[in-house]
Structure 1
Amino acid sequence: MPQRRLSRLLVPVAALALTAAAATSASAINSYNATPAPERTEVGALVAQWDNDADPTTPDRIDWVCSGTMVDRDTFLTAAHCTSDWPDGVRFYVSLHQDVQSALDAAAAAHPGDPAAVGVAVGVEGVAHTDPAYPGNGADSHDIAVVQVPSAAMAARWSFTPATLPTAGQLDQLGPQGLDATAFTVAGYGTQEARRGPGGHTHPGGGVRLKAPVGFNALNNTWIRLSMHAQQGNGGACYGDSGGPNYATIGGALVLVATTITGDVPCYATNVVYRLDAPTARAFLAPYVSLP
C-alpha cells in the first residue's frame, strides 16, 4: 500500500506488463461504455479508518479505498495491496452501498469528528487476512486478501447473493478461441480515465458502483490481461477498483474469474487482473470459503 493516501488511492503505477512486480495501483471504472450496477449487490467497497498524521489527539481519517466482492455470507474478497502496509490500528469496514461516497458524506455530516461512528453507519467492520506471500514476484504477486465480516450483521444490512467462484483451471479449459468468445465484465467503485486540464491529468468521479464490458487480451499462469479500448466497445478499470470483480459469462452463468490489480496509468488500455482459478489463489481462499 502506498504511503500517500487519497480517497481513491491515486498512486501512479508502472507501465503494464505481465512480468511486472507486484502492483501498488488501485484501479476503477471508466466513463465510456460504463453503466450503474445496482443489481451487482455482492460488489462492495472497502472502507478504511486510519491515523494519517501520527497524532493520537486528532480524529482518524476514514474513506473508501478499494473495491471487492462477497464470495460467501461472511467473506469479502479484495486485493492484498488494499489491506497491507497501513498504520497500526487500521480498521476495515465492508459497505455494499451502491453510492458509498454519498453514504460516507451523509455519515460524516451526522457524526462530525467521529470516524468510528461513520464506519458503523456505512459498513460492517471486519478482520483482514492478507496472503502472507504478498508481494510475491513477477510470476505470481499473491495480491489477494479477504476481509471476514459477521454474516448476521451483513444480512441485517443488505440482501445479496455471493459471487460464484471458478473451478480449478476453468479459464485454461476454455482455450484461446473460447476465451476470445467469452464476455467479460469489470465492476467497481473507482474513478474515471485521465482527463487533461490545468496542472496535468486528473481522475474524476468514483464512489459509485459501476460496470463495463472488457475484452479478452491474454492469459498466463496467474494473470489475465483485459482490453479496455473504447473503440472496441469496452469500458475498463481505473483508480479505486483494485480488488474488485472481473466476471466471465461461462455456460450462461456469471463467474467471478479474477480481481482487478493494476493497469496503465491513464486507465485507457488494459486491466491486469489476478486469476481466481489458479492454484495459489485457490490455496489462499480455501480456509475462508468453499471452493467449487
Structure 2
Amino acid sequence: MTASRTATLATAVTAAVCAAALATAAPSAAINSYNATPAPERTEVGALVATWDDDDDPGTPDRVDWVCSGTMVDADTFLTAAHCTTDWPGNVRFHVSLDQDVQAGLDRAAAEHPGDPAAVARAVAVEGVAHTHPAYPGPASDTHDIAVIELPSAKIRERWSFTPAALPKAGQLDALGPRGLNTTDFTVAGYGTEEARRGPGGQTHPGGGVRMKAPVTFNALNDAWIRLGMTAPQGNGGACYGDSGGPNFAVLGGRRTLVATTITGDTPCYATNVVYRLDTPGARDFLRPFVQLP
C-alpha cells in the first residue's frame, strides 16, 4: 500500500512532493505490496480528496483526485498531515471518502459526470473545512505536520459506518520506552502507492487508491517522531507515496490506538516510515479544540 510521503524531514521536500502531486494529479503515495493486505475492516481510515482549479477560471474546479490518507478521530474530525492541506491553489476544496476503493469510485464518477470535477468529488466524498497547524512548517525536530478536516457528521454517518480511532494518552509512548515499544504490535494503513519498481521508463510507484494495511516494527523514538521499520525480511510492510497523514496503530494495553501519522521515509519506500507522534504536548495542543483527548 502506498502513502503520501517525502524522502526527508525537510519541509522543502514535503512541499516539492505536494507540488508534484498537483502537477500530475496523481496520488502522493501508498502502502507497499509486500506483506500488505486489504483493510476493509478499518472503516475509520479514509482518503483525502481535493478539487482545485489551475487555469484562469477560479470559480470552477477543473481537477479532482485523492491526494493523501487520514483517520476519523471522532464523529466529524478527520486527522491528516499538514503537508497534505498546504501549497494548493487558493480555490482548493477538501473532501473525505471512507470507501475501501476510492480510486474505483473516482473512475466511476468521472464516467458519470464527465468534465465536472465538483460532481465527481460529491459522488465519492463529503466536503469539509481544513485546519492546518499554524506553526507548520516548523523545524526538522518538530515540523508541526498535522492537520484536521472538520466534516458535517450527519453527512458522514449517512454514507459510512465507523468507530473513531482511539488516541493515545499524553506521553504514552515515552512511558513504554524503547524496551516496551520493541514488543509492541504496530500497523500502518493508508491508500498509498507501492514500493519503487524499475522498468523501461525508469522508476515508478504503481497502485494506490485502495485502503491497505501492513505490519511495521519499532525502530526509534524521538521527541516528535517514531521511526518504524518496513523491511520485508522481518515480515514488515510499510508506507509509501499517498499514505501521508494516514494512521500508524499500536496495540497498547490490548487496545488498538492511533499513535502517529505517516509523514516521510526513504524515497523508494523500502526501509523506514517516519511518523508524527500524537501523544506529545504539541500534537495534543493542536488537537484539543477539535476532539476530546484521553
Matched, 1:21 2:10: yes
Q: Quote the Cα distance in structure 1 between the aligned partners of 2:272 and 2:249.
A: 15
Secondary structure of residue in 1 paired with 2:30: coil
Residue in structure 2 matched with residue 3 of structure 1 by the alignment = none
Q: Are 1:27 and 1:263, in contact at CA under 8 Å, matched by a contact in 2? A: no
Q: Among residues 222, 225, 238, which one is paired with 2:224 in the alignment?
A: 222
Query: After superposition, what is the alpha-carbon deviation per residue over 1:204-231, rounded to whole angstroms, capped at 9, x for unaligned?
Result: 0000000000000000000000000000
Question: Aligned in 2, Cα 1:154/1:58: closer, same or farther, shift over 3 Å?
Answer: closer
Secondary structure of residue in 2 paired with 1:45: strand
Query: After superposition, what is the alpha-carbon deviation per residue over 1:30-65, rounded to whole angstroms, capped at 9, x for unaligned?
Result: 000000000000000000001133455975100000
Q: Are 1:59 and 1:113, in contact at CA under 8 Å, matched by a contact in 2? A: no
Q: Among residues 99, 106, 109, which one is paired with 2:108 in the alignment?
A: 106
Question: Aligned in 2, Cα 1:58/1:255: closer, same or farther, shift over 3 Å?
Answer: closer
Secondary structure of residue in 2 paired with 1:216: strand
Output the amino acid matched with 1:134.
Y
Residue in structure 2 matched with residue 144 of structure 1 by the alignment = 146
1:85 offset after TM fit, Å?
1.1
Q: Are 1:29 and 1:191, in contact at CA under 8 Å, matched by a contact in 2? A: yes
Question: Aligned in 2, Cα 1:57/1:78: closer, same or farther, shift over 3 Å?
Answer: closer
Q: Quote the Cα distance in structure 1 between the aligned partners of 2:150 and 2:200.
A: 42
1:176 offset after TM fit, Å?
1.4
Residue in structure 1 matched with residue 162 of structure 2 by the alignment = 160
Residue in structure 2 matched with residue 177 of structure 1 by the alignment = 179
Matched, 1:63 2:52: no
1:175 offset after TM fit, Å?
1.4
Residue in structure 2 matched with residue 233 of structure 1 by the alignment = 235
Question: Aligned in 2, Cα 1:42/1:10: closer, same or farther, shift over 3 Å?
Answer: closer
Q: TM-score, normalization: structure 2?
A: 0.92
Question: Aligned in 2, Cα 1:155/1:242: closer, same or farther, shift over 3 Å?
Answer: same
How is 1:54-93 mapped onto 2 (pairs within 5 angstroms)?
A: 54-56=56-58, 60-93=62-95
Q: Are 2:61 and 2:118, in contact at CA under 8 Å, matched by a contact in 1? A: no
**Percent same amino acid at aligned positions?**
75
Q: Among residues 205, 218, 228, which one is paired with 1:203 in the alignment?
A: 205
Residue in structure 1 matched with residue 35 of structure 2 by the alignment = 33
Residue in structure 2 matched with residue 51 of structure 1 by the alignment = 53
Residue in structure 1 matched with residue 254 of structure 2 by the alignment = 252
Q: Which runs of 5+ in 1 are unaligned?
A: 1-7
Q: Quote the Cα distance in structure 2 between the aligned partners of 1:117 and 1:238.
A: 29
Residue in structure 2 matched with residue 4 of structure 1 by the alignment = none
1:199 offset after TM fit, Å?
2.2
Output the amino acid matched with 1:232.
Q
Q: Are 2:3 and 2:31, in contact at CA under 8 Å, matched by a contact in 1? A: no
Q: Quote the Cα distance in structure 1 between the aligned partners of 2:60 and 2:126.
A: 23
Output the amino acid matched with 1:122.
V
Q: Are 2:130 and 2:148, in contact at CA under 8 Å, matched by a contact in 1? A: yes
Q: Among residues 244, 264, 285, which one is paired with 1:262 in the alignment?
A: 264
Q: Quote the Cα distance in structure 2 between the aligned partners of 1:169 and 1:123.
A: 34
In angstroms, what is the RMSD of aligned CA positions? 1.6
Query: After superposition, what is the alpha-carbon deviation per residue over 1:120-149, rounded to whole angstroms, capped at 9, x for unaligned?
Result: 110100000000100000110000000000
Residue in structure 2 matched with residue 124 of structure 1 by the alignment = 126
Q: Quote the Cα distance in structure 2 between the aligned partners of 1:209 and 1:236.
A: 13
Q: Are 2:216 and 2:228, in contact at CA under 8 Å, matched by a contact in 1? A: yes
Q: Quote the Cα distance in structure 1 between the aligned partners of 2:47 and 2:59.
A: 28
Q: Quote the Cα distance in structure 2 between the aligned partners of 1:56 and 1:77.
A: 27
Q: Quote the Cα distance in structure 1 between the aligned partners of 2:144 and 2:81.
A: 9
Residue in structure 1 matched with residue 20 of structure 2 by the alignment = none
Aligned length: 280
Q: Among residues 212, 215, 219, which one is paired with 2:214 in the alignment?
A: 212
Q: TM-score, normalization: structure 1?
A: 0.93
Question: Aligned in 2, Cα 1:251/1:85: closer, same or farther, shift over 3 Å?
Answer: same
Question: Aligned in 2, Cα 1:167/1:59: closer, same or farther, shift over 3 Å?
Answer: closer
Q: Which moved more, 1:45-54 or 1:118-127?
A: 45-54
